[in-house]
Structure 1
Amino acid sequence: MEIGTFIYIALLVLLVWFGYSRLRPAKGLITLKSNEFKSEIEQSKNRLLLDVREQNEYKRGYIPSAKNIPLSQLEQRLGEIPMEQNILLYCQSGMRSKNAARVLQKNGYTRLAHLQGGVSTWSGKLTRS
């Protein structure tokens, strides 16, 4: 096999692995559709609704009662997130909330769910500030 072919195959494998690692669901993370997420918000008494978008995105419209801790600040602000509560995560499209779940899992959080497709799929009320 030529060296160029070997390098091409190695790069292709690396690209596929990188894509898979970014898109795969976090183990133990419950993925909820918009109507299921809304039901969980309404029915769960012991929960924290967490918006992991940046503050400027949050101000444009957020789910009522959501706490904003951007993904970029999450590790520094873990003390604001109670471990004993159900954590309901959302972002704009669902990607950052998956990444936030990975950060939380790495730090011992286990009761995690996120909104599939993010707030862009949300059919409920949004609050603007």
Structure 2
Amino acid sequence: MGKSFFAIACAVLLIASQPVWADENPILVKQGEMFAEAREVIKQITVHDVRRMIDEGEAFTLVDVRDPEELAAGVIAYDGLVTISRGKLELLAPDKLDMNERIVVVCQTGIRGILAAHTLVKLGYTNVSNIQCGIEGWAFSDYPIRNSLGTFVMK
């Protein structure tokens, strides 16, 4: 029940990323258009898909685009993790990411992640997807998190 509730909550959050009052504010209208464009281009995958990929040894780079203070709380326990703050993505991606590798983007809830994934596609990366529900979905699914204290599962 808890996992399916969380998946539904994430879907509602993503759908609600364009506020009802957006037509009154041109900036919010543009923001909604950006999200809609990103949703059309970027493949969304679940935390369960990523867990399976890790368990089956699939090769991919996991890009966590959260800010350093968010990363301190914990990251997905995966050796192929690269951290690049969303604000520095355009500048650091060419030095940190291989254009030919599969890239999976993660953020806190999936919203920054889809925008970051769309940015990578615009930069020329071709195999990019985003984790729906982000690290929160990962943690609520009882998958391992790593931080300076070690690796643990939220229960």
TM-score bin (small chain): 0.7 to 0.9
The question of 1:90 aligning with 2:116 is answered no
Aligned ranges for residues 11-90 of structure 1 at < 5 Å? Answer: 12=24, 14=26, 17-24=29-36, 26=38, 27-43=40-56, 45-65=58-78, 66-78=81-93, 79-90=95-106
Partner of 1:103: 119
The whole-number CA distance in structure 2 between the counterparts of 1:44 and 1:74 is: 26
| TM-score normalized with structure 1 length | 0.81
Aligned residues: 119
SS at match of 1:109: coil
Higher relative contact order (CA 8 A, sep 6+): 1
Pairwise CA RMSD: 2.0
Taking only the aligned residue pairs, the percentage that are identical comes to: 25
Amino acid at match of 1:127: R
The whole-number CA distance in structure 1 between the counterparts of 2:147 and 2:108 is: 15
Gap change, CA 1:25 and 1:127, over 3 Å in 2: farther
The whole-number CA distance in structure 2 between the counterparts of 1:49 and 1:56 is: 18
| TM-score normalized with structure 2 length | 0.68
Unaligned runs of 5+ in 1: 1-10
Please identify the structure whose Cα radius of gyration is greater. Answer: 1
